Copies of this chain bind each other. A is one copy, B any other.
Amino acid sequence: MELAFVLYPNLTALDLIGPYEVLGHQEGVRVRFVAATRDPVTADAGLVITPSATFDEVDRPDVVVVPGSGTWQAPLADGVVARWLRAVHPTATWTTSVCTGSTLLAEAGILDGRPATTHWAVRDALAARGAVVRTDRVVRDGDVITAAGVSAGIDMALTLVGLIWGDDRARFTQLAVEYAPEPPYDSGSPETAPPEMVALARSLMRT
């Protein structure tokens, strides 16, 4: 089973590495980090990741994971990721996104009229691209699974492990990564955070 983790400049690293850690150790998987070229890709705050394949080299992935970015308009304008998604989604078993990665799925036409979630700050932008936006943390619709912002990729990937390998394997994985979260604050969503912080975050994502 080939897992394709999509790379592009300035991606949010945790969007990708949460699902990678949860999915990448499962039996029989082949992990690919796929980008436009083999040149190292610099993520959001300076992390440099080396792709293991180019988009041209991965044409039949079984699972696709598309991360988001604080500068999410750039990969949309560029069009490279959406073009590849259009080509591989029809044969993929699961196409997934984390955070604003959903906008790339929408751009590829994968979310037309379908329920999907995304980073809370870009819900309008996703709706404008044809998705039926939900505020859930993880939304599954057929062969497409979308996750809310950044850290939600962990919840999405555990859900996906359950779907592919069964609930017991997902429970084991949760134990292995000791995922019993205890956030020290209660401001992880726009419903619980102070309104001025919500406004500031929204402006920083220029939506």
**Which residues from chain A sit less than 8 Å from chain B, CB to CB?**
12-14, 17-18, 20-21, 24-25, 31, 33, 40, 44-50, 52, 99, 119-120, 137-138, 148-152, 154-155, 158-159, 162, 167-168, 170-172, 174-185, 187-190, 192-194, 197-198, 200-201, 204
Contacts and interface: CB of A to CB of B under 8 A. Distances in A.
Contact of A158 (B12, B162, B184): B184
21 contacts: A12-B21, A13-B20, A14-B20, A14-B177, A17-B18, A20-B47, A46-B52, A48-B52, A138-B182, A150-B177, A150-B178, A151-B181, A155-B182, A155-B184, A158-B184, A158-B185, A170-B184, A171-B194, A175-B187, A175-B190, A181-B183
A120 to B, nearest CB: 6
User: Which has the most chain B C-beta neighbours within 10 Å: A151, A180, A194, A204?
Assistant: A180
Contacts of A31: 45-47
A134 to B, nearest CB: 13
